[in-house]
Structure 1
Amino acid sequence: MRWEALFADLEAQFAAQSAAELDAQVAELTRAERATVVISDRLRDALGAHLSVRLRGGTVAEGRVLDAAPQWLLLGAHGRQALIPLAAVVVVAGLTRSVAPGPGVVEGRLTLGHALRALARDRVLVQVEVDGAELTGRIERVGADHLDLSVGHGEVARRGGLVAVPFAALCAVRSR
């Protein structure tokens, strides 16, 4: 009887030690996996959710998440849309802890330039927010790192009221 109790005690100790080691491994793997999460994956998981996004310069964009890609976020509110470069995002409120799987090959290649070229193609009247200023016009051309915006209306626009805006300066591009 003593031997059986001794072996049962040793087995219980071994099981407890194994469980503790497994818990430690799971915790370490969880931390390692969390370290690979990028904010665009969390934003993609929030499709349809209402978020509040503080931008560089202090303005706030709010709306329902319509789309998200590795470089940008598209919010919709009150019939308008805001294309927000993730580089301009300072704080996001309203996200859950869940994460979408990584983007597919095509989705992963959708850069800010791609989204801006779609706006240029459709001749959408936009309001471009940069640090400390807002410009209204149509995107004429989109380069590798900047866009050309035709500002003004009528004669001003025809006389070449064109300004170049580097992507790095963009805080938001809103549909009018």
Structure 2
Amino acid sequence: MRWEERLLAVFDDLEQQADGLALAVRDAEVPELARAAYAEVDLASRLHASVGHPLTLTVAGVGEVAGELLRAGRGWCLVGRGAGTWVVRTEGIVAVRGLSEQALGGDHRQLPARLGLGSMLRSLAEATVPVAAYAFDASVHTGRVRRVGADFFELWEPATTDVAGWRLVPFHAISALRPVPEG
């Protein structure tokens, strides 16, 4: 073997070693990059990707709420069907079973999915639907949503006939709401 062939063989060997080291470094980086990317996924992204899925939520002050995830908005989700429908604030969620493995970032959500709890409460006020508002401390406030402010809503409790029948409820105190049957 001539010296040029030996030199080329040495270079080939060094290139193969460098390629092997590059692959080893990449193989070590891929799991770390995946962990870093997953660390950016929030609960809202998982909820938005799970619309249409059956799931079970454990909700502070309520317990388990099971049903189809009908909608997900900014800071809330709608679970159930008909009279068994719940509006659950994401801050009230203690645990979830049944979520999709996927996530849907904010840029890919439709406009209605970007609406906050205030928008949902305003629609309840317009519909004059009686609701039960469940607080984190397990207390329940019932009535019709009258007006909705930036971070609170007012409930009219029909059992009273004076101004004391209005109750102001801050958003941060509520974990979930549900319609209640009239009568």
TM-score by length of 2: 0.82
* Cα deviation digits, residues 154-174 of structure 1 (max 9, x gap): xx2x43311111111101110
Root mean square deviation of aligned Cα: 2.3
> Among residues 162, 169, 172, which one is paired with 2:166 in the alignment?
162
Secondary structure of the residue aligned to 2:119 is helix
- Counterpart CA distance in 2 for 1:46 and 1:146 is 28
Q: Name stretches of at least 5 consecutive residues in structure 1 with no aligned partner.
A: none
Please say if residues 132 and 141 of structure 2, whose CA atoms lie closer than 8 Å, have aligned partners that are also in contact. Answer: yes
Please say if residues 51 and 69 of structure 2, whose CA atoms lie closer than 8 Å, have aligned partners that are also in contact. Answer: yes
> Among residues 135, 140, 149, which one is paired with 1:143 in the alignment?
149
- Greater shift, 138-147 or 23-32, is seen at 23-32
- Greater shift, 6-15 or 108-117, is seen at 6-15
Structure 1 residue 89: Cα displacement = 1.1
TM-score by length of 1: 0.85
> Among residues 75, 78, 81, which one is paired with 1:71 in the alignment?
75
User: What does 1:31-46 align with in structure 2 at a 5 Å threshold?
Assistant: 31-46=35-50
Structure 1 residue 8: Cα displacement = 4.2
Match of 2:133 in 1: 128
Matched residues, percent identical? 35
Structure 1 residue 113: Cα displacement = 1.0
Secondary structure of the residue aligned to 2:80 is strand
Structure 1 outlier segments of 4+, above 6 Å: none
Please say if residues 136 and 152 of structure 1, whose CA atoms lie closer than 8 Å, have aligned partners that are also in contact. Answer: no
> Among residues 18, 22, 27, which one is paired with 2:26 in the alignment?
22
* Cα deviation digits, residues 30-86 of structure 1 (max 9, x gap): 222212111001001001111111112351211110111231111014543111111
> Among residues 115, 122, 126, which one is paired with 1:117 in the alignment?
122
Q: Closer, same or farther in 2 for the Cα pair 1:70/1:38, shift >3 Å? A: farther
* Cα deviation digits, residues 122-176 of structure 1 (max 9, x gap): 11121111122222211001111111111135xx2x4331111111110111022
**Greater radius of gyration (CA):** 2
Q: Name stretches of at least 5 consecutive residues in structure 2 with no aligned partner.
A: none
Secondary structure of the residue aligned to 1:165 is strand
Please say if residues 122 and 147 of structure 2, whose CA atoms lie closer than 8 Å, have aligned partners that are also in contact. Answer: yes
Aligned residues: 173
- Counterpart CA distance in 1 for 2:113 and 2:86 is 20
